[in-house]
Structure 1
Amino acid sequence: MHRLNVKLVNGVQNFAKGSLGKAYHQNKWTTVAFSTQGVRLSQAKSDSAASKPDRLSKKPPESKGYAANMFRGQIVPEQCFPYPDVLSPDQQETLQMLVSPTEKFFAEVNDPAKNDALEKVPDDIMENLKEMGAFGLQVPTELSGVGLNNTQYARLVEVVGANDLGIGITLGAHQSIGFKGILIAGNPEQKKKYLPDVATGKKIAAFCLTEPGSGSDAASIKTRAVLSSDGKHYILNGNKIWISNGGFAEIMTVFAQTPVKDPKSGTTKDKVTAFIVERSFGGVSNSKPEKKMGIKASNTAEVYYEDVKIPVENVLGGVGEGFKVAMNILNNGRFGMGAALSGTMRSAIAKASDFAASRLQFGRKIETFGAIQEKIARMAIKHYVCESIAYMVAGNMDRGFSDYQVEAAISKVYASDAAWWVVDEAIQVMGGMGFMKETGLERVLRDLRIFRIFEGTNDILKLFIALTGIQYVGAHLKQLQAAFKNPGGNLGVVFSEASKRVLKSVGLGGGKSKALDSLVHSSLSTQAGHAAEAVELIGQAVESVLMKHGRGIIEEQFILNRLGDAVIDAYAMAVVLSRASRSIEKKLASVDHEVLMTKVFCNEAIERVRFNVNGMKAPSSIENYKIMSQISQTICKNGGVAHANPLGI
């Protein structure tokens, strides 16, 4: 299970190796900073803004991301409205030429049940996939790949996800992350040397990060690479666990600690570096395939490195830059999971609805019962949201935007949670038949369980979503704090930021309920108002928790989880409103159906946002979090359930 988790809480991306910003805490402005060593708090320096004019002349970085700006209570529509339409006629034609044979292959040639039973992808199927170009979908054509953009790739991944998640992991571990580092961070020589072989499937790739003692806390990896005395090689020692394709991958992106000397201070400390490792270097071995709950057709193994000599030219992205490389790889590939799982959901919904339309109980088809209708409707709504987000992120990537890490994380979390729920409900609709192997849903449910864990557990990613947004807010609060030291000379900053906060604190400065009216079709104006309200509620909540907790916010995971949930819902509202509005404009055949799903989702999502925002500050909620913490500690100390059986025996 490639790259199960990545370190996010104590410093993913080193949280930009900088400060969260200035937060007003206990009557003092303080700096909250995230680093790989944790969190630190320091009082603001006494120097005045007037003595350091550059502080205010350098504006904090401005994000065009819709999600990032929600944390400031602002709507920046550029990356959400209108819904992206990025394929040229030629690209659409190319995609159609690829989709049809791919669907035919999975319908007529591949047997997912057989692959699951064999616990491997058969050699003939692997060869067929290679001939189809499935191992190099996004590699440029001049380097033997298919040359697809992200949106085209998403559509083909959706076909795979609808049919066989075991094969999906084999392909994804290879190209979505296995050699993705070479594609996005490799130098020209590395690309020319390695991409043709991996694109054709001549050599399979793997992503090697997770270790026995390092899952979510990726910075704690123990695998080490030390420069040889002649300076020509790094000597690699260590081991990685749960590596997809680990039993047969010939090319690996491996992350290891390396000693790095700071040119300024002269001190040396360990930093993570990414390496391109070939099995042919020698010293690389692996365990037998792991026995797993699901995705059994995917090879998962432990990989060992013993005195592996890696040429210095195989450093990927620079010495000590491995964390950045890993995060870029994962951020760049997460949208693919949303696309794949939207395919999984589409397939499950088809099976459940076909069954409901033919199954008779109490003299009626079960599709006529309200209980079944609600299940099928909610399944379809979740699929619509998941699919909409996946193609929104892919489209924005193709439009050249680079600030999409929060949206990509949202896509992964929503897709993996929704797919699990949808397939579980599909089984419920089909009753005993759904439980049988014959329908294939029990295999799909087993396969799905891992998606909420790898590429960053959903729990960790929700914290990542919340803390990344808070960091962005902090940068603006930092500038505001400096401006207040010399308000006369910085009226622009004071009035642009502070006045918004003052007005909100006294119940003024609203009007956001109409903020999306010009972007959303008039038939969805009520729901547009809900989406705008969600953004304002999130902005107010973020400011409130920063003022209350300061640096301590990183430890308030009960609160951060609810902020993450609220942001996911708020972003999803905007995305489906954007997609449905485009469907209305284009007069698509499914437009009425899409509008109905959008209305239900937004009407319910705003209630969840209100609930979660309230849960970040309500005294009763805060008290419950303290109680739950105590309950959990008691259970863990007891080694299990701490209350006695009611019979006392």
Structure 2
Amino acid sequence: MKSAKLLTCANRCISGKSNSLPLPKINRCRGLATEARAEPAPNKGARQSASFTLNLFRGVLEPAQVFPFPEPLSDDQRQMLQELVPPVEKFFQEVNDPAKNDADAKIEDNTLSGLWELGAFGLQVPAEMGGLGLSNTQYARLVEVVGAHDLGVGITLGAHQSIGFKGILLFGNPEQKAKYLPRVTGGEYAAFCLTEPSSGSDAGSIKTRAVLSPDGKHFILNGSKIWISNGGIAEIMTVFAQTPVQKDGKTVDKVTAFIVERSFGGVSSGPPENKMGIKCSNTTEVYYEDVKVPVENVLGGVGNGFKVAMNILNNGRFGMAAALAGTQRAALRQAAEHAATRVQFGRRIADYGTIQEKLARMAMLQYTTESLAYMVSGNMDTGAQDYHLEAAISKVFASDSAWTVVDEAIQILGGMGFMKATGLERVLRDLRIFRIFEGTNDILRLFVALTGIQFAGSHLQELQRAFKNPTAHLSLIFSEAGRRATAAVGLARGPDLGPLLAPELRPLAAELGRCVLEHGRSVEAALLRHGKRIVDEQFVLNRLASAAVDAYTTAAVLSRASRAARLRLPSAAHELRLAEAWADEAVGRIPRLLADTREPRRLRQYARLAELGQAVAAAPGQPSPNPLNL
């Protein structure tokens, strides 16, 4: 299914020479991820990575960031969390009123002032600049508490620090940090201003412009942004605009990030948007008219705005998974309490198989979401560099799972769940946006697939180069040939994970290993079949991405449950059952998903669906009349 826009937002694909294996070099995934890394130069070797998901696309099971489950907290950090969590829990139970926030479409003033006093708006800012200096894992735990109580408040907090001033933390120079970080922890709100009317996922198509003033002291900023969280209340904004830069003797436009203050003048906001959910969070349009931005407020360098934006989004996605793990835990508790007390036909509804299955699947989804959040945050805290695909998977999985869990909680409560009094209808409305913003789930799946394919392709291209000069690359040729041969006859063995896994989970880990090998073969087959056209084969890409999600979530739960068994936690038996239940179904789906990337019947169905979709779009709507033809 061809789409010019998705060529720019889901990576452009450039093939090699026509007489060579058509492997793609994917340049950029606009609007949702890091700039893709360039293909390694000849003789320097393909890029290596400890990422589980990147290596999955090669058919290699890389355990470094998965087994054992991360343990990143020091004793002092754990003690700090023990001191922070109870007052935050108490605050949300006794002070914050989510129903009133939703009804009034604003957060109560006493709630906001209390959150500032708690330090909730500066969780990861260094203590010497007014924040709490929390690690990613500590941050995840507190965000989980917020997600269990009020997602609208969570968006206000997240828009401020997870993306609003996160660029200053990641890319700010010492002077920028010293000037702005004390302010964003001392009462001034921040916002992340990227989206425009003509650019949603395609962040590279923004129209807002900034031109250097004649005296060279300012950039003159003009344009507008839409759907900006905290847009009407933010004093400090990270704004992205096109700027003219010199490249190869020509003037071209490249995106640059700026720190913009409302007090600069020329900054205004529209009225708050009337939204489906997260009503209490402030969402507005923001306008910039001849705003004079000092040159020292360029963030990350002129022309590097795309890199800044994507790293901000990548860095914060694990927080969404943590928040939604809390949401799911709260909804599951509410559903379980109702099921344990509601009597129908002389029995508690919890005694019926249908309700038991719902509760079990809700628990599996919550456990898996939580495992992803803390695995990604733990990897980040222990210095991992390649976690972007795993962070994207955590966001996709968490937002899809939270919708299912809360929907099922409403179903278990029946008519009572549909009433406002239970609060679940508000949570369901709040949840819907999570599958859309900070990278839509549809685009993120394409990002996972295309970035993984690029990584696999770079290794295959290295092998191609080796065959052009075989005497100089015998070790590479023989090692790769050996790996492929043993895989082909079913003798390939991955790393020995036995000591890192609970005995009950080892058979499922072995099955996961076989799925990883098959994933790599399926990626290579897709590249051979489609070549540079792979970027347009979204039906195939989506199945490869879904298989990657199942593989990574399986690894995460196997690792976490094994940790519980190793530490002999009271919950270990339950965690082992959860992991077995999730992994058994997930590894069962992977072969079917991978087969769907190549089976002629499925490929014919994809072509049929593409034609149907095009016909509906052209109509627009359902082209066929109702049966009465009236």
Using the size of structure 2 for normalisation, the TM-score is 0.95
- Confirm whether residue 543 of structure 1 aligns to residue 533 of structure 2: no
Q: Distance in 2 between matches of 1:135 and 1:573?
A: 34
> Aligned partners of 1:156, 1:225: CA distance in 2, in Å?
38
Identify which range, 479-488 or 363-372, moves more after superposition.
Answer: 479-488
Contact 1:205 1:251 (8 Å CA) reproduced: yes
Instruction: Give the one of 576, 582, 593 matched to 2:574.
Output: 593
Q: Is the 8 A contact 1:11 1:34 kept in 2?
A: no
Q: Is the 8 A contact 1:566 1:613 kept in 2?
A: yes
SS in structure 2 at match of 1:372: helix
For the residue of structure 2 that corresponds to 1:581, the secondary structure is: helix
| Match among 91, 116, 128 for residue 114 of structure 2 | 128
- Alpha-carbon displacement from aligned partner over 1:197-232 (angstroms, at most 9, x marks no partner): 1023x2100000000000011110000000001110
Alpha-carbon distance in structure 2 between the residues aligned to 1:374 and 1:26: 53
Is residue 75–residue 515 contact of structure 1 (8 Å, CA) maintained in 2?
no
Partners in 2 of 1:451 and 1:8 — Cα distance? 22
Map of 1:478 onto structure 2: 461
Confirm or deny: 8 A CA contact 1:10 1:35 kept in the other structure: no
Of 272, 275, 280 in structure 1, the residue corresponding to residue 258 of structure 2 is: 275
Measured in 2, the distance between the counterparts of 1:63 and 1:20 equals 22
Describe the shift of the 1:604–1:355 C-alpha distance in structure 2 as closer, same or farther (beyond 3 A).
same
Where 1:77 maps in the other structure, the secondary structure is: coil
Is 1:358 matched up with 2:304? no
- Aligned-pair CA distance for 1:55: 5.4
Aligned match of 1:510 in 485, 492, 497?
492
SS at match of 2:434: helix
Distance in 1, matches of 2:175 and 2:481, equals 51
Once the two structures are superposed, the pairs formed by residues 71-82 of structure 1 within 5 Å of their partners are: 71-82=57-68
| Residue 496 of structure 1, CA deviation | 2.4
User: Which of 505, 508, 511 is residue 527 of structure 1 equivalent to?
Assistant: 508
Which secondary structure state, in structure 2, belongs to the residue aligned with residue 29 of structure 1? coil
Equivalence for 1:349: 332
Query: Which whole-Å CA distance do the structure 1 matches of 2:157 and 2:376 have between them?
Result: 20
Residue matched to 2:290: 307
Q: Compute the displacement of 1:427 (Å).
A: 0.2
1:204 is the counterpart of 2:189: yes
Contact 2:10 2:443 in 1 (8 A): no
Tell me the distance in 1 between the aligned counterparts of 2:29 and 2:80.
48
Map 1:312-351 onto structure 2 (within 5 A): 312-351=295-334
SS at match of 1:250: strand
Query: Does the CA contact (< 8 Å) of 2:49 and 2:386 recur in 1?
Result: yes
Q: Aligned-pair distance for 1:56?
A: 4.7
Give the counterpart letter for 2:71 in structure 1: D
Do residues 215 (structure 1) and 215 (structure 2) align? Answer: no
Matched, 1:142 2:128: yes
Cα displacement (A) at 1:498: 3.8
Amino acid in the other structure paired with 2:205: S
Q: Which one-letter code corresponds to 2:408 in the other structure?
A: E
Residue 358 of structure 2 is aligned to residue 372 of structure 1 = no
Quick one: which of 2, 7, 10 aligns to 2:7?
A: 10
- Please point out which of 443, 449, 463 is paired with 2:446: 463
Inter-partner Cα distance in structure 1 for 2:246 and 2:29 = 18
Q: Does 1:177 align with 2:163?
A: yes
Distance 2:24 2:271 in 1: 46
| Residues 1:187 and 1:14: Cα distance change in structure 2 (over 3 Å) | farther
Amino acid at match of 2:148: A
Tell me by how many angstroms 1:436 deviates. Answer: 0.4
Among 236, 258, 265, the residue aligned to 2:221: 236
Secondary structure of the residue that 2:64 maps to in structure 1?
A: helix
Q: Structure 2, unaligned stretches of length 5 or more?
A: 31-39
Q: Look up the match of 1:29.
A: 21
Distance 1:55 1:460, change over 3 A: closer
**Conservation of the 8 A alpha-carbon contact between 2:9 and 2:29:** no
2: distance between equivalents of 1:405 and 1:635? 35
Structure 2 counterpart of 1:10, one-letter code: L
Matched, 1:572 2:553: yes
Q: 2:138 aligns with which of 148, 152, 157?
A: 152
Q: Which residue in 1 is equivalent to 2:36?
A: none
1:256 correspondence with 2:267: no
Q: 1:152 and 1:427 mapped to 2: Cα distance?
A: 31
Deviations 1:397-450 (A, max 9, x none): 000111100000000000000000000000000000000000000000000000
Check the 8 A contact 1:95/1:152 in 2, yes or no: yes
Of 480-489 and 617-626, deviating more is: 480-489
1:395 matched to 2:378? The reply is yes
Structure 1: distance between partners of 2:8 and 2:78: 41
Match of 1:295 in 2: 278
Secondary structure of the equivalent of 1:355? helix
Q: Once the two structures are aligned, what percentage of the paired residues are identical? A: 59
Runs of 4+ in 1 over 2 A off after TM superposition: 7-15, 19-22, 25-38, 54-57, 496-504, 506-512, 514-519
Query: Which residue of structure 2 aligns with residue 94 of structure 1?
Result: 80
Match of 2:392 among 396, 409, 416: 409
Code of the residue aligned with 1:236 in structure 2: it is: L
Among residues 153, 156, 173, which one is paired with 1:167 in the alignment? Answer: 153
- C-alpha displacement at 1:500, in angstroms? 2.6
SS of structure 1 residue aligned to 2:280: coil
Any idea what SS the aligned residue of 1:479 has? helix
Match status 1:435 vs 2:432 = no
CA separation in 2, counterparts of 1:292 and 1:62?
Answer: 44
Distance in 1 (alpha carbons) for counterparts of 2:280 and 2:594: 42
Shift of 1:647: 2.0
Distance 1:203 1:304, change over 3 A: same
Number of equivalent positions: 618
CA-CA distance at 1:478 after TM superposition: 1.7
What residue is the counterpart of 2:44 in the other structure?
Answer: 58
CA contact (8 A) 2:9 2:202 kept: no
User: Is the 8 Å Cα contact of residues 21 and 528 (structure 2) preserved in structure 1?
Assistant: no
Gaps spanning 5+ residues in structure 1: where? 1-6, 39-53
* Higher mean displacement: 633-642 or 173-182: 633-642
**1:491 aligns with one of 474, 488, 491:** 474
Checking the alignment, whether the CA contact within 8 Å between 1:13 and 1:324 is kept in structure 2 is no
Counterpart secondary structure, 1:371: helix
Other-structure match for 1:51 = none
The 3-state SS of whatever aligns with 1:303 is: strand
Letter of the 2:454 counterpart: Q
Contact 2:10/2:450 (8 A) holds in 1: no
CA positional deviation for 1:31? 5.3
Per-residue CA deviation, residues 94-152 of structure 1 (Å, 9 max, x unaligned), is 10111000000000111000000010112221111000000000000011100000000
Paired residue secondary structure (1:401): coil
Whether 2:609 is the aligned partner of 1:609: answer: no
**CA distance in structure 2 between the aligned counterparts of 1:20 and 1:518, rounded to whole angstroms:** 43
- Tell me: CA distance 1:190–1:523, structure 2 relative to 1, closer, same or farther (3 Å): same
Letter of the 1:33 partner, please give it: K
Distance 1:637 1:9, change over 3 A: closer
For 1:354 and 1:447, the matched residues in 2 are separated by 22
Contact 1:21 1:477 in 2 (8 A): no
Task: Give the deviation of 1:501 after TM superposition.
Answer: 3.2
Query: 1:507 offset after TM fit, Å?
Result: 3.0
Given that 2:191 and 2:236 are in contact with CA atoms closer than 8 Å, whether structure 1 keeps it comes out as yes
Scaled by the length of structure 1, what TM-score is found?
0.93
Query: Deviation of residue 522 (structure 1)?
Result: 1.3
Counterpart residue type for residue 514 of structure 2: E
- Distance in 2 of aligned mates of 1:300 and 1:176: 16
What letter matches 2:131 in structure 1? G
1:521 shift after superposition: 1.6
